[in-house]
């Protein structure tokens, strides 16, 4: 499953929750039929038995920290998918974050049980954002040490260098431009010093910005790029290609509770305690229960899931495969847990006929059988049917309408509403409510379950006369040769397999990169709808620049509502990720990463 980019891969990985678990669902049976004219099953009914809801009810394992967890032992983990980049400057993948977050201390971290709570990690307190939003100041602890081979106290210059090296070609951080790009001098830097990052003393770091984006930058300091890197040790190595710290991560000087003892790409990883870590004495809230973590990489995720189910002291770092979910739900519900992940939607090209017409887009949304699409992915346990873009648990979700949706009638039915769709087509000028025009082109996946969900979308649109020609390509090709390339989108009308999850817990990174002009650039763009509404762009930017949490969520929640009303894309799933563990493990989910947090996970007797 599923490549270098954290967001892409995690969405792709969740895609492995494909066919086979519909037996666990029940509402899908009622939403199986044709949309008919009555409007089918309501979203509210369809969403009743989602995975996270059942975790809360106690049916499945609730992966939260408790006071009785025990210290010691070796945790055996497996990962069929493996890791991509274990250098915190390069890491941009859910699986990589599992490791970088326990090897390094970022400026900030999250409470694993409540991702709305940001905890200072290397920082001593909250980031101070100046009233004009152009300066962010962070104070760091003076008693955090690098592990071997550096063995010295961390200073603010190490944090500065950790961020600066993100622009070195050999490090090439993937999200720098999105959240750190407004730092003064960043546009000209190539891994060397950035003028806008100042370190007036050894425990203070100041970010000077050319735009008032301090509120968003302060939130992005939970990302691994904010991990300190010792300049004198790392700078000479960072000039090499490929980067030695990524190729051989045992070279990294750890600041977190663990350090990498050995790593063989695609085969194994061993983490042991970092002797320089002094836990609570230096303000690290993490208990770091286990002494050692052995990760076996490779194999088949289904076989791994089977073995873990009966093997004491083991845990899976992969999302559970579809057959695994079905079996755990039935046989070991207290060894599986579900957490919210992100969203999925069908992007419609708003710059091209016929989807340049708002009413045609509304008709397409109204007729889409989202319940059938979800069924192709695995039914209710893989997530809730979406009614807008922010997903449950995301800041701004409630403000956008929460579970009930934004009130848009074209998204009210789980399995489509033919009469409503026809009425919108009539408004678009099609007298009998049936589309008459050339075929539209969707670029879909050759891989399951994207292939099947595209077919459902095609069948749905055919009901109102929109004939879809599906161009099926590999998942990665779909993104990089078509849906992320402006020029290629001139001949594409829709991308049915798009999805997104936030880089950090906030509404801004869920919206700005994908549904505003920020997401449009000639290549590597993330807005395949090419949707750019000046009013909404300004609204989202305003939200991104608002430091007050409640106000920020209000603005961005409203922006979500406004975007949904314009239907640049049809949201159809709020993704859920399932995680599994063996007996004898007290796993704790990092809700911000939707996967296990190994610094809180312990073994049980």
Partner 1 sequence: MTRSLASPLRALGSPTSRYIARRLVWMVFLLLVVSLVAFLIFYALPSGDPAAQRAGKGADEAQIERVRHMLYLDRPLYEQYFHYIKQVVLHFDFGFSYSNNADVADQLTSRLPATISLALGAAVIWLVVGVAIGILSALRPRSLFDRIAMGGALLGISAPVYWLALVVLALLSQSYGVIHLIPNTGSYKPLTQDPGAWFTSLLVPWIILSLSFAAIYARLMRANLLETLDQDFVRTAEAKGLSRRRVVMRHAVRAAITPIVTAFGLDLGILLGGAVLTESVFNIPGIGRLSYDAIQDSNLPVIQGTVLFAAFFIIIANILVDIVYAVIDPRVRLA
Binding positions for partner 1, rule: CB under 8 A: 1-8, 78, 82-85, 92, 167, 169-170, 172-179, 181, 187, 190, 241-243, 246-247, 264-267, 296, 298-300, 302-304, 306-307, 309-311, 473-474, 476-477, 479-481, 484, 503, 513, 521-524, 526
Task: Say if residues 510 and 389 touch (Cβ distance below 8 Å).
Answer: yes
The residue among 475 and 552 lying less far from partner 1, judged by its C-beta, is 475
* Residues 6 or more apart whose Cβ sits within 8 Å of residue 78: 295, 296, 297, 299, 304, 307, 308, 314, 315, 316, 317, 318
Angular region, 208: left φ>0, alpha ψ -120 to 50, beta rest: beta
List the structure tokens of 484: 């992320």
The residue among 95 and 228 lying less far from partner 1, judged by its C-beta, is 95
Secondary element (H or E) of residue 94? helix 94-103
Beta bridge partners of 342: 575
The residue among 32 and 268 lying less far from partner 1, judged by its C-beta, is 268
The residue among 189 and 464 lying less far from partner 1, judged by its C-beta, is 189
Q: Counting Cβ atoms within 10 Å, is residue 548 exposed (0-12), middle (13-18) or buried (19+)?
A: exposed
**What is the Cα–Cα distance from 150 to 148, expressed in whole angstroms?**
5
Minimum Å distance from CB 296 to partner 1?
Answer: 5
Minimum Å distance from CB 74 to partner 1?
Answer: 15
Collapsed DSSP state (helix, strand, coil) of residue 215: helix
Minimum Å distance from CB 176 to partner 1?
Answer: 7
List the structure tokens of 333: 């519900």
Q: CB neighbours (10 Å) of residue 391?
A: 25
Contacts 24+ apart (CB under 8 A), 187-193: 189/164, 191/164, 191/165, 191/167, 191/238, 192/164, 193/164
Minimum Å distance from CB 303 to partner 1?
Answer: 5
Minimum Å distance from CB 158 to partner 1?
Answer: 22
Minimum Å distance from CB 404 to partner 1?
Answer: 31
List the structure tokens of 141: 């602890």
Task: Say if residues 60 and 333 touch (Cβ distance below 8 Å).
Answer: yes
The residue among 137 and 302 lying less far from partner 1, judged by its C-beta, is 302
List the structure tokens of 206: 């100041």
Minimum Å distance from CB 318 to partner 1?
Answer: 13
The residue among 203 and 521 lying less far from partner 1, judged by its C-beta, is 521
Minimum Å distance from CB 168 to partner 1?
Answer: 8
The residue among 461 and 478 lying less far from partner 1, judged by its C-beta, is 478
Q: CB neighbours (10 Å) of residue 305?
A: 24
Task: Say if residues 163 and 180 touch (Cβ distance below 8 Å).
Answer: yes
The residue among 5 and 346 lying less far from partner 1, judged by its C-beta, is 5
């Amino acid at each position: 499953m599923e490549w270098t980019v954290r967001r892409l891969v995690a969405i792709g990985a969740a895609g492995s929750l494909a066919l086979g678990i519909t037996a666990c669902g029940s509402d899908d049976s009622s939403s199986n039929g044709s949309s008919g004219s009555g409007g089918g099953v309501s979203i509210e009914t369809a969403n009743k038995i989602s995975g996270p809801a059942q975790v809360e009810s106690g049916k499945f394992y609730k992966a939260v920290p408790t006071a009785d967890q025990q210290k010691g032992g070796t945790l055996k983990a497996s990962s069929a998918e493996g890791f991509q980049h274990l250098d915190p400057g390069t890491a941009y993948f859910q699986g990589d974050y599992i490791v970088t977050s326990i090897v390094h201390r970022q400026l900030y971290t999250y409470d694993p049980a409540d991702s709305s709570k940001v905890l200072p990690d290397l920082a001593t307190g909250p980031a101070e954002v100046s009233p004009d939003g152009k300066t962010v100041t962070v104070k760091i602890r003076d008693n955090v040490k690098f592990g071997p081979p550096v063995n010295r106290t961390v200073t603010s210059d190490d944090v500065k260098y950790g961020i600066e090296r993100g622009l070195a070609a050999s490090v090439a951080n993937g999200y720098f431009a999105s959240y750190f790009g407004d730092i003064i001098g960043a546009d000209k830097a190539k891994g060397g010093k950035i003028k806008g990052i100042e370190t007036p003393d050894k425990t203070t770091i100041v970010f000077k910005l050319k735009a008032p984006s301090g509120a968003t930058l302060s939130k992005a300091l939970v990302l691994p790029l904010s991990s300190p890197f010792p300049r004198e040790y790392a700078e000479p190595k960072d000039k090499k290609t490929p980067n030695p710290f990524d190729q051989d991560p045992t070279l990294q000087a750890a600041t977190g509770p663990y350090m990498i003892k050995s790593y063989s790409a695609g085969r194994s990883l061993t983490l042991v305690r970092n002797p320089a870590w002094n836990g609570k004495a230096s303000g690290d809230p993490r208990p770091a229960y286990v002494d050692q973590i052995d990760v076996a990489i490779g194999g088949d995720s289904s076989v791994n899931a089977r073995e873990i189910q009966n093997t004491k002291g083991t845990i899976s770092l992969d999302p559970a495969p579809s057959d695994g979910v079905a079996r755990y739900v039935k046989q070991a519900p207290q060894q599986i847990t579900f957490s919210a992940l992100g969203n999925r939607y069908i992007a419609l090209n708003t710059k091209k006929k016929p989807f340049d017409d708002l009413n045609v887009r509304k008709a397409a949304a109204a007729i889409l059988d989202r319940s059938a699409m979800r069924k192709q992915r695995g039914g209710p346990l893989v997530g809730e049917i979406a009614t807008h873009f922010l997903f449950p648990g995301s800041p701004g979700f409630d403000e956008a309408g929460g579970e009930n949706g934004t009130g848009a009638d074209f998204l009210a039915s789980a399995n489509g509403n033919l009469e409503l769709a026809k009425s919108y087509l009539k408004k678009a000028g099609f007298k009998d409510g049936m589309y008459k025009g050339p075929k539209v082109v969707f670029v879909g996946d050759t891989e399951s379950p994207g292939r099947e969900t595209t077919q459902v979308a095609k069948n749905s649109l055919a009901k109102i006369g929109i004939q879809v020609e599906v161009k099926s390509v590999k998942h990665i090709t779909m993104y990089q040769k078509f849906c992320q390339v402006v020029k290629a989108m001139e001949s594409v009308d829709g991308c049915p397999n798009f999805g997104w999850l936030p880089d950090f817990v906030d509404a801004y990174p869920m919206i700005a990169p994908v549904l505003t002009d920020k997401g449009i650039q000639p290549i590597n763009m993330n807005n395949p709808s090419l949707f750019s509404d000046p009013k909404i762009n300004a609204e989202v930017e305003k939200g991104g620049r608002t430091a007050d949490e409640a106000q920020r969520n209000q603005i961005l929640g409203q922006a979500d509502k406004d975007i949904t009303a314009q239907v640049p894309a049809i949201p159809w799933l709020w993704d859920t990720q399932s995680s599994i563990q063996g007996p004898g493990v007290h796993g704790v989910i990092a809700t911000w990463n939707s996967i296990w947090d190994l610094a809180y996970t312990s073994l049980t007797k």
